[in-house]
Amino acid sequence: MELRFTDEQEAMRRKARTFARQEIVPCLPDMERDDAFPRRLVARMADEGLMGIPIPKEWGGAGADFVSYIAAIHELSKASATFGVILSVHTSVGTLPLLSHGTEEQKRQYVPRLAAGEWLGAFALTEPSAGSDAASIRTTATREGDRYILNGSKVFITNSGAADLYLTFAVTASGRGARGITAILLEPGMPGFRVGRPERKMGLHGSNTGELQLDGVSVPAAQRLGEEGAGFAVALGALDGGRIGIAAQALGIAEAALEAAATRLLPDSRNSRIGADCPGGLGTPGGPSRSRATGADSARAGAVLAKLAALAQQVEAARLLVYRAACLRQAGRPCTREASTAKLFASDTAVAVTGEAIELLGPEAWSKELPFERLFRDAKVTQIYEGTNEIHRIVIGNHLLKE
């Protein structure tokens, strides 16, 4: 098993890292203060070819592989989890399903725009009464001749209000559960389509999350993605890739917290590599040098090293799980269990590492001059969206039962 990036994957990782440090990091204070969608930076991501990384060149993408795409999410999320989720939703569940299930006309109409970043994609599945149990959605799509009439509402939709295309799921055959759900492509300018109130969230400032109101939206039957009644299968296929993307986002948060904590707590020259890798240049020395350290200082330093070592183990395990799932996805092999495992472990790790970093640093960690309180707030949602971690434990358990 090869455990290193190819030259092409490494080049994409470095491109994403350079973009994150040069373009995103300087804008973080404004994003945190204003909580406004970063349209200019998303456009710059498109200019850099980051919005269509795994999309084939013939469809306007970069033609890179899935691992390169996951590496880009990972690196962007070390600087800002907001950009990780914008890219993940746009690509994994907003664009790739069109390549897998779209007609030639649908692909010609939408994929080049999405791959180039001219359009932003979104995924509209969750409803007020259907979160983890997605098969119980109530939004309806009634067939009238050669059109569907959609009525209902969606909530907690990432990229809402900023997206140009929404992959939306609605019931076309009541009483059939998951087999009665159909996927339909909606554009925000369609009559009856309304973006509702935005959510004011604890974290992910700058990432739009909101509700959609569908009041008699009339769309041509040609906007259906896949066969009627096959929408739930479309959603599940998309979510495997989406969960790996969110796992990479959580991994980026955890790494950023670990590196920043090590830089603050271990300010001697031995830790220069960690300081150099820390987005935003957070390596401000603080604490006694070894030459002046007392016995108590030495004991505390040993305890801190032990804590950081334990956290580093968790982060390394998360990294291996994330990239293992990505490799399986890239190879076209089944990866539902592996995607759930990576998402579950990486998100739990992000919450553990950010929380422990704050415990180790004490009051200074709450300062907005440092990244810890932002990373802590951003980490929590990775345990909730793209399937709660309780759901992923059930998914993993069911796979164990089958085996």
Q: Would the pLDDT of 202 be above 70? A: yes
Q: What is the pLDDT of residues 126-180, one digit of tens each?
A: 999 887 777 889 999 999 999 999 999 999 999 999 999 999 999 999 989 899 9
Q: Give mean pLDDT, residues 60-76.
A: 98
Q: Which residue has the higher pLDDT, 130 or 43?
A: 43
pLDDT at residue 2 is higher than 80: no
Token pair in block for residue 316:
């390394």
Question: Locate tokens 């990239």: which residue?
Answer: 323
Q: Note the pLDDT of residue 303.
A: 85
What is the C-alpha separation between 183 and 233, in angstroms, rounded? 9
Q: Are 221 and 210 in contact (CB under 8 A)?
A: no
308-353 pLDDT tens trace: 999 999 999 999 999 999 999 999 999 999 999 999 999 999 999 9
Q: What percent of the chain lies above the pLDDT cut of 90?
A: 83
pLDDT at 267: 65
Quote the CA–CA distance of 55 and 182 in Å, as a whole number.
Answer: 24
Name the nearest CA neighbour of 233 among 97, 110, 103.
Answer: 97
Q: Give this prediction's pTM.
A: 0.90
**Active-site residue (options: 259, 338, 386, 390):** 386
Q: How large is the angle between the packed helices 81-88 and 66-79, nearest 10 degrees?
A: 150
Which range, of 88-92, 104-108, 267-271, averages the lowest pLDDT? Answer: 267-271
- How confident is residue 11, by pLDDT bands cut at 50, 70 and 90? very high
CA distance 210 to 199: 5
Tokens of residue 243, six digits: 């969960």
Look over the chain and give the mean of its residue pLDDT values, rounded to a whole number. Answer: 91
pLDDT at residue 290 greater than cutoff 60:
no
* pLDDT, mean of residues 285-298: 47
Look up 2 and say whether it is catalytic: no
Q: What is the pLDDT of residue 299?
A: 61
